[in-house]
Homo-oligomer: A and B are copies of this chain.
Amino acid sequence: MQIVSLSMATAKRKKASKKDFILRRAAAMFSEKGYSATSMRDLADAVGIEAASLYNHIQSKAEILQEIIFRMTNDCNVHIGELEKGKLSNIKKVESLIRFHVQMMMYQCDDYTVMINEWMHLPEPYLTNFNIQRRQYVVKMEKIITDGFQQGEMKNIAPYVAVLTLLSSVRGLEFWHRSSQKISPQKIEDDMVNFLIKGLKKN
């Protein structure tokens, strides 16, 4: 009984790690060529198996996209949830959000890029789910900026514009990631925070 459940756990772990490997390769290819331009045969080649064998680990091409994207949205929701519970000043909350997104773009570049560039290929009902989550996330960010203005920490900039700008700025790092990277991740992160926070902070 013990041995059975142990070997089942092992089998499950092995299978999960092979699936993880497929998801990682898929994220890299979706990020580089796009979801639609990546075929299951391309992906199978990158994984080192036949296309048909992929279906022992995943159910469909769309499922791969879903898993990549909703793993990311989950991380984002966890982070902003902790911010909401925490006691940072609003300006520090914005700084934390910028650093969080910059770090995702630098250390989970493929997954993050797939989320921002390929979400429209999610099949329903996942597409609607994603759009709702993104909308909620934006509203939460807007609230932080509105609070920051009302509490005298920030300038009176339209929260909607600020949030769109903050979120999209990070996308530029895609090119940094593909380039020779003469600037260190830490310096990029600090420069970006300094640059963006200056547009918000009072004084």
Contact = CB atoms under 8 A, between A and B. Distances in A.
Contacts of A6: none
B161 A34 contact: no
Interface stretch (A54-62, A122-130, A166-174): A166-174
Given A34-B34, A34-B36, A37-B36, A196 B165 contact: yes
Contact of A196 (B167, B172, B199): B199
Contact of A120 (B32, B163, B173, B196): B32
A170 B173 contact: no
A172 B165 contact: yes
Nearest to A175: B164
A41 interface: no
Interface stretch (A19-27, A44-52, A77-85, A186-194): A186-194
Number of copies: 2
A92 interface: no
A117 B117 contact: yes
CB-CB nearest 9 A-B residue pairs: A164-B172, A168-B172, A36-B36, A195-B199, A36-B37, A198-B199, A161-B191, A168-B171, A165-B169
Contacts of A36: 34, 36-37
Interface of A: 32-37, 117, 120-121, 157-158, 160-165, 167-173, 175-176, 183, 187-188, 191-192, 194-200
B158 A187 contact: yes
5 contacts: A158-B183, A160-B183, A164-B175, A165-B195, A169-B172
Contacts of A183: 158, 160-161
Given A34-B35, A164-B176, 10 more contacts: A32-B120, A34-B36, A36-B37, A158-B183, A162-B195, A163-B172, A165-B172, A168-B169, A196-B199, A197-B199
